[in-house]
Chains A and B, each alone.
Chain A
Amino acid sequence: MTELAIRARSITKRFGGFTALDNVEFELRPGEIHCLAGENGCGKSTLIKIINGVYQPEPGAQFDFSGQEAVGHITPSSAKRLGIHVIWQDLSLFPDLSVAENICFDAFVANPLRGIGRAQKLERAQKTIEQLGVQLDPKARVGDLSIAKRQLVAICRVIQAEARIVFMDEPTASLTQKETETLLQIVRRLSEQGISIVFVSHRLGEVLDVCERVTVLRDGKLVGTFPTEGMTQKKLSTLMTGKELDQTPRAGDVDGERMLVLKHLTRRGEYEDISFDLRKGEILGLTGLMGSGRTEIALSIFGMTSPDSGELRLDGKEVKFRSNRDAIDAGVAYVSEDRLNLGLDQQQSIADNTASTVLKELSQPSFFLNPKRIRELCDLWIEKLKTKVSDPMLPVSSLSGGNQQRIVLAKWLATNPKVLVLDSPTVGVDVGAKAGIFEIIRNLAKEGMAIILISDEASEIFHHTDRTIVLKAGRVARSFKTSEVSEEELEGIINA
């Protein structure tokens, strides 16, 4: 038997009275691609931080690295000496430094006085870039790169620092399907070079695709480590949540009246000649790669941009929105794909965020905006959407991704919309919470709301929409009843 890259046993971690990890075991083989799965708050990050030396476990924990027992505390620097590196979701790069400077950063930290020269940095960076077989300009400023490229810089950086074990926290959360594939290829190449990779990801499909084994945590306890062969998404999400998730595809025959009609809608440089209708009670999937025009169309429906030509009809009347306020007043709501920056004001309170779309209504009939009415509105929606909130006066940032998304839904449902546009509503939301969000969405459709679901995840489009429109380079490439295709076919169509 080969020696394990990491064997960690009896790991327990308490924060005050809260047990984040309870007697957890974790094994990693050399060159293995391993997945660490579990819902938000299950202890994944805590485990990574312990192995990485950021947190100290409770006494009794045992660590073997490459067959040798670790003596004493692991610290972040001793972890690095053992070749353990973590690429956090925010990547921790320096946006104002060049690609080469970022890649060689650890070499500089190791020896700040005899820092390496510019030419040497470029040379080393170039070598690493070639080793990975990626396309990067070592002189480019990191801040100017796309998220996908920055991810590659972060990977190059740990390779340059001679990593043997790399933890990647949600590496694909903000990547498109295509970029994700590129990343996964690189990960496979690393594993061929004997480097072990541990993935933390909410996207179960890719987890099963790329990983050999998956370790599942639930509420700080180890559920088990399983080979991915023979594992299905459904089985994995059941292991993670401990619940069977209902994901029956929709029938697809909706004959409500036409709520939203687009006729030859065009905005130069963004989308061209887009025509479709959306009926009451229907969920329409709008899919395509990043840059296919899906968000741009949504922004025009929401009045943030005006189309150059074509017609937009809402509830039978032609509309021309001058601002999103017009669109909101007419009954359009838009859940942005960027919940952190655009969907919510993270610093402001949960109550204020919920009320922010309906200030005029709350102020009627006088000029008095009663804080009590804001609270009542917030409490009503917390109850309706079963959001877990300890105190509505806390900032929204105190909530988990799934609960934040419920607040976003609440603030838009408060406007009583006829058309709800959801742009990638499950980004950064874990499996259990995803199911909850879709339950809400499907109930809204049942009550007669017309819904557009923008997503590039085939399984979401497959399970939760009646019809699918695939966009390519700003045009409608295909339009079909979702139930006419299988999930695999859909996946192929989206990525074609």
Chain B
Amino acid sequence: MDNKGLFTLLRKQSNDTLELAAMLGFLVLCLAAFSAIAPGFLSAGTFRSMAFQLPELGLLTLAMFIPIISGGLNLAVTYSANICGLAAAFLVKGLLMSAGWASLPIALCVGVGVGAVIGVMVGAMVAYVGAHPILVTLGAMIFLRGLGELLTRGGDISGMPEAFNFVGHGSLFGIPMPMLIFLIAAGIVLYIMQYTKDGFSIYMSGSNPEAAKYTGINVNRTLMLVYGLSGAISGLAGILMLARFNSVRIGHGDSYLLITVLACFLAGANPFGGFGRVLPLVVGLMSLQVVASGMNLLGASQHLSTAIWGGFLLLVMILRSPFLKKN
């Protein structure tokens, strides 16, 4: 009977609270487990390295999250990031090598801008052609990959000014720059999604586009915004990768693609759109990183942590099933 009482108590909470609580519990569990089994896990060094590694996946996941809420998917996030990095790298290498620090904001604007343009075009395809987002973004993904490989001849463009090194490896107020960028981006996405009318429209269009249209929401415009935002964040991820590796190579980060989808679903985003919050997503990403870093510290294969990530998603689905049934 005690179990039943706990269950009713849980069911009374809103889904948002539950997802956040679940992800926090998950993070604490991972932290506790690795502190127990991995010697030296609880050190500033570990956390610093995590803070440098997480943001790439984190930004790409944010870029995936918004289209998922709208009931779609953006398979082009990683290659959009590559193309944006490439555009910035070409510009910097061609014109701005002597510009010093000024090259940075220009590269940032170009990267994010190119990403947004790609995204808006994808969004327009989804909205006005009416093709399924998986098809449109798959086309865009393959197109961008081919285009990028054509432009780089399969090699990489490297050698960025010193300023990029600071973005990739420096710290501000003791917080690693990549982490700072990720947190700011997550904050902006959280604000847009949960506290603006555009975000509200994204959720409504995601769960029932027809009803949204009848309510007076411009669903087509919303879709362009969705993919535009997704593209812009991908662009930001591209610039961050450029700064971290001091180079751009097409295909960098493509192994993250499905992990970003996994992270969204892990944090409770509904695969059919309309539901999912930013905060559980950020916390969920942190626990994935804890697993990866912890396993690394134990000297286990990187592939094992990938396997564990997948296992986590399966486990979470099982734990979530009694709550899904209530609808």
Contact = CB atoms under 8 A, between A and B. Distances in A.
Interface stretch (B154-162, B202-210, B289-297): B202-210
Interface string B193-230: 01111011101100110111111111000000000000
Contacts of B201: 359
Interface string A2-37: 000000000000000000000000000000000000
B98 interface: no
A131 interface: no
Interface in A343-365: 343-348, 352, 355-357, 359-360, 362-363
A357 B196 contact: no
A359 B195 CA distance: 11
Given A345-B204, A348-B274, A359 B197 contact: yes
Interface stretch (A241-249, A310-318, A321-329): A321-329
B196 A397 contact: no
A484 B210 CA distance: 40
Contact of B211 (A328, A345, A359, A369): A345
Nearest to A329: B216
Contact of A345 (B196, B199, B207, B216): B207
Given A345-B208, A395-B327, A369 B196 contact: yes
A356 B215 contact: yes
Contacts of B204: 345, 348, 352, 356
Contacts of A343: 211, 214
Interface size range on A against B:
20 to 34
A373 to B, nearest CB: 11
B34 interface: no
Nearest to A412: B215
A367 B196 CA distance: 6
A344 B211 contact: yes
Given A369-B200, A393-B14, A347 B218 contact: no
Contacts of B195: 368-371
Contact of B212 (A345, A367, A395): A345
Contacts, number: 72
Contacts of B274: 345, 347-348
A369 B197 contact: yes
B65 interface: no
Interface in A369-421: 369-371, 393, 395, 397, 411
Contact of B216 (A324, A336, A344, A368): A324
Nearest to B201: A359
A325 B216 CA distance: 5
Nearest to A335: B214
Nearest to B214: A342
Contact of A347 (B210, B214, B215, B275): B275
Most buried by B among A348, A368, A393: A348
Contacts of B14: 393
Given A347-B274, A393-B14, A395-B327, A352 B214 contact: no
A334 interface: yes
Nearest to A348: B207
B17 to A, nearest CB: 10
Interface residues of B, number: 24
Nearest to B270: A347
A324 B203 contact: no
A186 to B, nearest CB: 33
Contacts of B199: 369
A347 B208 contact: yes
Interface in B87-138: none
A334 to B, nearest CB: 7
Contact of B218 (A323, A346, A357): A323
A371 B200 CA distance: 10
A164 to B, nearest CB: 35
A368 B194 CA distance: 9
A397 B211 contact: no
A325 B215 CA distance: 8
Contacts of B203: 348, 352
Given A328-B216, A356-B215, A346 B196 contact: no
A345 B208 CA distance: 6
B267 to A, nearest CB: 18
Contact of B197 (A342, A360, A411): A360
Interface string A284-318: 00000000000000000000100000000000000
Contacts of B211: 341-345
A357 B204 CA distance: 11
A411 B207 CA distance: 18
Nearest to A347: B207
Contacts of A369: 195-197, 199-200
B190 to A, nearest CB: 13
A355 B327 CA distance: 22
B218 A411 contact: no
Nearest to A395: B327
B177 to A, nearest CB: 28
A357 B327 contact: no
Nearest to A328: B216
Nearest to B14: A393
A370 B195 CA distance: 6
A440 B218 CA distance: 30
A360 B197 CA distance: 7
Interface in B149-174: none
A460 B214 CA distance: 25
Given A348-B274, A362-B197, A363-B197, A325 B208 contact: no
Given A348-B204, A356-B217, A341 B197 contact: no
Most buried by B among A304, A325, A345, A363: A345
B327 A368 contact: no
Contacts of B208: 341, 345-348
Contacts of B214: 304, 324, 334, 336, 342-343
B196 A363 contact: yes
A223 B217 CA distance: 47
Interface in A151-165: none
Contacts of A363: 196-197
Interface string A127-149: 00000000000000000000000
A389 to B, nearest CB: 15
Contacts of B194: 371
B292 to A, nearest CB: 34
B210 A368 contact: no
Nearest to A323: B218
Nearest to B208: A345
A360 B215 CA distance: 13
A32 to B, nearest CB: 39
A368 B195 CA distance: 6
A360 B14 CA distance: 26
Contacts of B196: 363, 367-369
Interface of B: 14, 194-197, 199-201, 203-204, 207-208, 210-218, 274-275, 327
Interface of A: 304, 323-325, 328, 334, 336, 341-348, 352, 355-357, 359-360, 362-363, 367-371, 393, 395, 397, 411
13 contacts: A323-B218, A341-B208, A347-B207, A347-B327, A348-B203, A348-B207, A348-B208, A356-B212, A357-B216, A359-B217, A360-B197, A367-B196, A368-B196
Given A342-B211, A355-B200, A363-B197, 7 more contacts: A324-B213, A345-B211, A357-B216, A359-B197, A369-B200, A370-B195, A395-B327
